[in-house]
Amino acid sequence: MRACRYGSAVRIRDARGDDWPAVAALLAELGRPDVRGTEQERSARLVFERYLGRPDTFAFAAEDDDGRVVGFVDMELRTRLNFAEPQAWIPDLVVAERARSRGAGAALLARAEEVARGAGCFTLTLESASWRERAHAFYVREGWADSGHAFTKNLSDRPWPPPPPAEPGPAPR
């Protein structure tokens, strides 16, 4: 297992199957369906474990000094027509709210970029929901360009991308 610090207080390592509970919690925090404790959890865990075993995917976890997973990124290499080299695509990048602005996201992106460059990719890309303005500012700070728009046609009743979190109500008196 390779673990690197990337100038951050977190340690970046390859994700493992036993990271599933932490990754499921992070994805739920991001607004994805929260499958923890539901009938979908077993199949979601199997999808995660199969994903980790694919030759065209990479997944990394960010651990804090106590060994807790506080961030996760996964990346796929995909073929684009008229390109001899692969394109790297990040479907998921999430850092726990409690650990944000401490270098975990930058370290995860740095590891993903290192692997993408090593694989000879011509670009590294990701999508971010239009309302995630804080994330967009982070990507620009990290040297990414806002290079396009994503369009979605939902084919189910599940909203995509996940909607913004509800505003908290007034504090009880």
Kindly give the confidence (pLDDT) of every residue in the chain, 173 residues in length, as a single tens digit, with 9 standing for 90 and above: 345 545 557 999 999 999 999 999 999 988 888 999 999 999 999 999 999 999 999 999 999 999 999 999 999 999 999 999 999 999 999 999 999 888 999 999 999 999 999 999 999 999 888 788 888 888 899 999 988 887 878 898 877 677 776 665 555 55
- Give the CA angle between residues 63, 67, 73 to the nearest 5°: 25
CATH architecture of the domain with range 3-141: 3-Layer(aba) Sandwich (3.40)
Q: What is the pLDDT of residue 167?
A: 63
118, 82 contact by CB (below 8 A)? no
Residue 59 φ/ψ, nearest 5 degrees = -145, 135
Look up residue 13 and give its two tokens: 């390592």
Q: What is the pLDDT of residue 169?
A: 55
3-state class (DSSP) for residue 62 = strand
Q: What is the pLDDT of residue 142?
A: 92
Burial class (CB within 10 angstroms; exposed 0-12, middle 13-18, buried 19+) of 71: buried
3-state class (DSSP) for residue 59 = strand
Q: What is the pLDDT of residue 159?
A: 74
Q: What is the pTM of this model?
A: 0.86
Q: What is the pLDDT of residue 5?
A: 47
Interacting residues of 60 by C-beta distance below 8 A, sequence separation 6+: 12, 13, 14, 15, 72, 73, 74, 108, 111, 112
- Look-up of token digits 């509970």: 21
